[in-house]
Amino acid sequence: MYIQWFPGHMTKAVRMMKDNVAICDALIYVVDSRAVLSSINPVLEELTLGKPVLYVFNKSDLVQDRELKDWCARFDMEGRRYVTTVGTVAEQKHIIEGIKSLVAPMLLKYSQKGATKSIRVMVIGVPNSGKSTLINSMRKKASAQTGDRPGVTKGKQWLSLDKQIDLLDTPGTLWGKFENQEIARHLAYIGSIKDDVLDVEGLAVEFINEFKEKAPSAFLDRYGVDIANIDAHEAFLKIAEKRGFKIKGGEIDYNRCAKTILDDFRKGKLGKIMLEKAFDDKEEKSRLVIKRKESETKPLDK
């Protein structure tokens, strides 16, 4: 199946963010821990150039700690500042402290002049990454619109975090065209693309096919179906049979089965599953470690 989705409000959103990034002192980039690579939107990455950025690995409770630690190690090697969190948890002090640490030199500069500075922070990320929920947790009140589907936040919202920090909540944004269909599928799996514009039955079959090697035991534990050595479409039908997904006349309810599989993944009912590894192999990790060390020891130009 071929996936492409970029609704009109996203074009307006990108334009709005480009207009507002100049007046912001820093950015919070919310990343879905299940699909870190796919969450890094090149359109949004352009906005971060020249600005301090705090990456937030959100929904960290839905992945294995050891796999998330690999992504943390990769971000360390790339010199990216980050924190991990679960956006629905009320306590988010580490994110606030992380932002203040990023802009500490600027705050010191104003302080030395006897002036106070209000920090403006833009919050960005792909749809359904949990930006608005995270903001509400940070503020300890529900002001930003939230929902478990993409496209809830359609315009900008300035929200006061405390006396020192103002947050700009922005709509979740994808890229204009998916050159990489694996990334498109991963974004669809995590709910960044509306199910309404997708062939959810085809997507569920693709999902099963991808996890025949990645996590076959998840399907055995949840549905009692061993998907490892059978065709993905056959596995889909077996799951429907096991769950009794039928419509009038005894025919299989394909749509209900597909939505159940995707919803189970999104809610963590299939277990802690990460879609993308931080490193393809040990050699790649070693190369990045060497590259990082070389950059740290390289003398500064005079």
Residue 155: helix, strand or coil by DSSP? Answer: coil
Amino acid letter, residue 177: K
Structure confidence by residue, pLDDT tens digits, 23-78: 999 999 999 999 999 999 998 898 888 899 999 999 999 999 999 999 999 999 99
According to CATH, what is the number of the domain 199-266? 1.10.1580.10
Give the pLDDT of residue 155.
56
Fold match, 8-169 / 199-266 = no
Residues in the chain: 302
Amino acid letter, residue 168: L
Closest CA to 10 of 257, 140, 187: 187
Residue 293 CA from chain centroid, whole number: 28
CATH T-level assignment (fold) for domain 8-169: Rossmann fold (3.40.50)
Give the pLDDT of residue 302.
29
Q: What are the domain boundaries of the chain? A: 8-169, 199-266
- C-alpha distances (whole Å) from 18 to each of 55, 100, 158, 161 are 19, 23, 15, 22
From the first residue on, what is the mean pLDDT of each consecutive set of 10 residues in the chain (302 residues)?
Answer: 84 91 95 96 88 96 96 95 92 89 88 84 94 89 54 66 88 88 96 95 97 91 95 97 91 96 97 93 59 46 34
Give the pLDDT of residue 281.
67
**Owner of token pair 């009794």:** 244
Predicted model pTM? 0.86
Give the pLDDT of residue 110.
82
Tokens read off for 109:
């500069």
